[in-house]
Structure formats: structure tokens, C-alpha cells
Chain A
Amino acid sequence: MIAGLFNYWIVIVLMMAGLYIVMSSGHLVKKIVGLNIFQTAVFILFISMGKIAGGTAPIIDSAITLYSNPLTHVLILTAIVVGVATTALGLAIAVRIHEAYDTVEEDEITAMDAQSLHEENTASLAAESDK
């Protein structure tokens, strides 16, 4: 049983480590690192499910009779390239946030937002009392 499910358990450990980084870290780039780890865990899950004991890479040859599952390979191959494109999009958003706030720490950004909201509110209150 341990041999049969070992891959899946490792996948779960990796996935949870990625999720932990996303939740615990306040740094936006580190959050994207966590998402990447989570994503790679999903890749390993799919490829593990596609493996057949004694099989070989799915490239047809007359000397070979047993191939691993090509469908999971196709799904993950395209997912990897899409993954890097979306990672770059996330990084671009982090860079823009850094240009606007001069920080990418989540709690500092929230504090700045709260402060500017507070200033807006007091300004509008003052304007109303003037009327």
C-alpha cells in the first residue's frame, strides 16, 4: 500500500506546503512562488496517474507493446506553458503594485489603503459639516 500511494502522499505534502506559503507569507512574490509549488504538485499528481508499471514513453515503436498514458502528458505539457504565462502576469501585477505603493507586503498595502480611506472619509465629513 505504501508503495502504491507514496507518490500521491508526496504530492499532498507538496501541495500543502505551497498552500501554506500562499496563506502565511505577506510578500506577493513569495505567494506566487507558493502557487507555483502547488501547481507543480498537481503536475506530478497527473503524471503519476498516467504511469503504467513496465510501460514506456508513448512514442510508437514496433519493438514495444506497453506505453504509459499519453493523455495526462498532453494535459500537463500545455498546463506548464500556460502556468509560466500566468505566473508572469502575477509578477507584472506585483511590479505595478510596487510602483504604486512602494511595497509588496500585504499588511503594509492594507494599512495604506485603510489610511487613505480614513483620510477620504474625514475629508468628506468635514466638507459636509461645512455645508
Chain B
Amino acid sequence: MEFLINSLLLLMLVATVFAIVRLKRLMIGVMLMGFFSLLSANIFMVLDAVDVAFTEAAVGAGVSTIFFLAALAIVGRTSKPQNATRTFVPLAAVIITGALLVYASFDMPYFGSHDAPAHNHVVPRYLNDSPNEVGPPNIVTSVLASYRGYDTLGEVGVVFTAFIGVFLLLGAGTRKSGVERPAPPNVQAESMRQKVVLREVSDLLIAPVLIFALYVQWHGDFGPGGGFQAGVIFASGVILYALIYGIVPAQKVFPPRKLAYFPGIGFLLYALVGVVSMMRGGNFLDYGVLVHDPLHGQHYGILIIELGVGITVAAVMINIFFSLSERSL
């Protein structure tokens, strides 16, 4: 039954992708990308990756679709039809590469097999010892925040770097922020604020979305969730507010100039935990030495670095949304 659901979802995914390949109207293509992400979140759910499904649903179906729409509003909604030579060579290359990959796939361990190499080496240690070594029942959180803490610090660094890139290219809130500019008259008339259903539903949703983000942030040790998901969910609440009420009121609540410091603050908070654990005689990001009891130390360490991750991710997403949408004003 599980295999059947999994296969059906995968086939739907393939159908969606072929529709995206054939579409000339990018607007619909981007909407289909949102659907594509939601489908893949379902597949992750069926394949037991609850944390990943959570992230994909928040990121792919939510924030990333908004970014694409904001960019399309600036660069135009249709792509030119391609000429024949532009389709033939890529098609040949893709078919040859695909055939080679299928040939290679016969060496893969079968789907769901218990003795695949991926399940040996470090994974048994994570599964058997992490409750006594790190603590949280959610092993994904233990591995993410403690065993592979270096790796996660690096990932937060990459998110921060991407933000710096967007900041340098577009300027997060440096052009028009803080100035109460009268919206162009035609924008005012078609503002989403005038749409009763949209306004009322989002009024109902925004506060619970923000509270849910905090729940995901602090409950990540026990269930699916953590800083990455919480940051994206919090940002999507703020983005929803900005979409309905306009970017100027949203920037009053989160002034972009101040918000631009927060990606760095979150990253430094994470790194600071590592420095403090070194000063207390442990290794970098070895939370066990933070307080007298190693398990409590792990718990405090994970809570703080997850907070750092959440701050960075939320601030980066809101900042990028502001930069992209300010350009289209």
C-alpha cells in the first residue's frame, strides 16, 4: 500500500514536470512549481522523512513560489518559443545522460532494503546512542544540531552568504524603505486589501502562523521541526501580511535597515555557543561542557543554536522578499 501511494505520487510529479517543460507561460509554470513542491512534500511524508516534508512544504510551496512570482512581476511573464536547434541538442544530451544513469541504477541497493550501505557506518550509532548521548527523542534534531553541528553552522553560513549576495545586488530596503510613499493609484484600486475574503482569511491566519512558528522552533527536539522550518514559517506569516496590507506597513513592523543585522546576529549566536564551549574546556560546539550535566548541556546548546538558525533563516527570507518586491514597485 505504501509503495502504491509512493508510486502514484511520483507519477503525478512526473506529469507536473512535463507540463512545466511544455509551458510557455511562466506564471502558470511557477504556480505548478508550488504544486510540484507540495507533491514532493507528500512523498517525503510517505518515505518517513517528516522533518524534510515539513521544510519542503514551508519552503517550496510557500516562500520560494512567492520569490518566483515577485521576480516574474519584474522580468515579464512569458518566455520566447525556442527554435528547433535549441531543442534537439539538449534532448539528445538528456536522453544519453538519462540512459547512462539508468544503466548505473542497476548497481543501486533496492528501495527499502535493510542492509544498504547508507544504513551502516554512523547511522546505527545515531539510532542507538543518541538518547543517552544527546537527549532529544527526535534523532534528526540530535544529528542536525549536535553530531553534525559544524555542518549546520556551515549551512547557516551559506544562507547568510546568499543573503549578502541579494543585499549587494538589490539592496535590502536601502532604496525606498522607511519612506511612506503614496502607492500608485492603480495599485491602490487593485490592492489585495479590497478583496474581502483574502483580507478576512489572512487576518485569521497571520497570528496563528506566527505562534505556530514559535511552537515549531521550541518543540523541534520532541517532534518534527526546528530552526530551519520555524524561520521559514515565521517569514511566510510576515510575507502574507505584506502581500495583503502592502509592503509599507510590513516594513514599519520590520524596518529593513534593522532587519539586515539579524542574519548576522543569528549566525554569530550559533558560533558563540561553540566559542563558549571551547572556553569551558570542550571542543568547538561540544555542548556537553556548557553546564554541570552533559545531557542538560546538550539540551541548552541545541535550544540556543536552533534559535540562532531560526533568527537567521527568518530574517534572510523576509529581507529577500522585501528586496525583490521593492524592485517591482
> A residues engaging B (CB < 8 A)?
1, 3-10, 12-21, 23-30, 32-33, 36-37, 40, 43-44, 47-61, 67-74, 76-89, 91-96, 98-99, 104-105
Contact = CB atoms under 8 A, between A and B. Distances in A.
A16 B327 contact: no
B230 to A, nearest CB: 11
A82 to B, nearest CB: 5
B86 A49 contact: no
A5 B36 CA distance: 22
B150 to A, nearest CB: 12
A69 B111 contact: no
A43 to B, nearest CB: 7
Interface stretch (B188-196, B200-208, B271-279, B316-324): B316-324
Contact of A4 (B6, B111, B143, B224): B111
Contacts of B119: 52, 69
B26 interface: yes
Interface stretch (B57-65, B209-217, B249-257): B57-65
B71 A77 contact: no
A73 B17 contact: no
A3 to B, nearest CB: 6
Contacts of B159: 81-82, 85
A82 B317 CA distance: 11
Nearest to A95: B74
Interface stretch (B39-47, B238-246, B282-290, B299-307): B39-47
